[in-house]
């Protein structure tokens, strides 16, 4: 068993990757892999995507294995620049923002880049699903716009972590952070 940044137990049955970064101690950050889980066949392992045709009971079982699963809000990702502030009943977006310890942000990625943003104190957090369409329409800037004005005006006010162990950037993107 390993510990997350917030010293919460992480199941040793899952292959979780914890970032080696200097995020605030109260921010829980990890990336899942396909190892572990209950899905079978083409979806074998830890499939958490309810949109890919897997048995929804198995997807729910997989999601329940993830640390802090009861606090995670899963998005219906559509390759947009839309951000939802948690808690929210509307989950159609490609990023979520939270300033609540009861509502955790999460994104799913395959060939897109997962990005975690937080303020210096870890009181404000956003998770971004950064695909080429979202990057082209400023998904990162849209997520940053949800942060308090002090963070938006300071390049040191945000910690930016991109964690995508199997992701290779195929294109060079110029991303504007204009808010």
CATH of residue 86: 3.60.140.10
Q: Which residues of the chain have pLDDT under 70?
A: 1-12, 149-179
Q: Is residue 109 part of a domain?
A: yes
Q: Which pLDDT score, from 0 to 100, does residue 173 have?
A: 42
Residues 6+ apart with CB under 8 A from 8: 28, 67, 68
Our measurement of the distance from residue 143's CA atom to the centroid of its chain's CA atoms, rounded to an integer in Å, reads 12
Q: Into how many domains does the chain fold?
A: 1
Q: Which pLDDT score, from 0 to 100, does residue 151 have?
A: 54
pTM above 0.85, yes or no: no
Q: What is the pLDDT of residues 6-43, one digit of tens each?
A: 434 444 478 888 877 777 888 888 888 888 899 999 99
Q: Which pLDDT score, from 0 to 100, does residue 49 have?
A: 92
Q: Which pLDDT score, from 0 to 100, does residue 101 have?
A: 93
Q: Which pLDDT score, from 0 to 100, does residue 31 have?
A: 86
Residue 85: strand pairing partners:
97
Q: Is residue 84 part of a domain?
A: yes
Question: CA-CA distance, 81 to 121, in Å (whole number)?
Answer: 25
Angle formed at CA 71 by CA 49 and CA 16, multiple of 5 degrees: 60
Q: CA of 71: how far to CAs of 66, 101, 169, 178, in Å? A: 10, 8, 31, 31
């Amino acid at each position: 068993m390993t510990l997350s940044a917030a010293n919460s137990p992480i199941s040793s049955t899952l292959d979780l990757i914890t970032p080696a970064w200097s995020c605030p101690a109260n921010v829980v950050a990890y990336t899942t892999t396909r190892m572990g889980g209950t899905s079978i066949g083409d979806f074998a392992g830890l499939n958490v995507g309810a949109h890919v045709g897997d048995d929804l009971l198995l997807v729910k079982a997989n999601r329940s294995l993830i640390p802090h699963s009861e606090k995670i809000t899963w998005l219906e990702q559509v390759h947009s620049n839309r951000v939802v502030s948690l808690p929210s009943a509307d989950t159609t977006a490609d990023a979520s923002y939270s300033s609540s310890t009861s509502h955790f942000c999460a994104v799913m990625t395959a060939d897109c880049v997962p990005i975690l943003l937080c303020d210096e104190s870890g009181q404000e957090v956003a998770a971004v699903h950064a695909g080429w369409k979202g990057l082209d329409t400023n998904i990162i800037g849209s997520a940053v716009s949800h942060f308090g004005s002090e963070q938006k005006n300071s390049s040191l006010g945000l910690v930016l972590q991109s964690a995508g162990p199997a992701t290779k950037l195929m294109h060079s993107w110029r991303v504007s952070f204009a808010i």
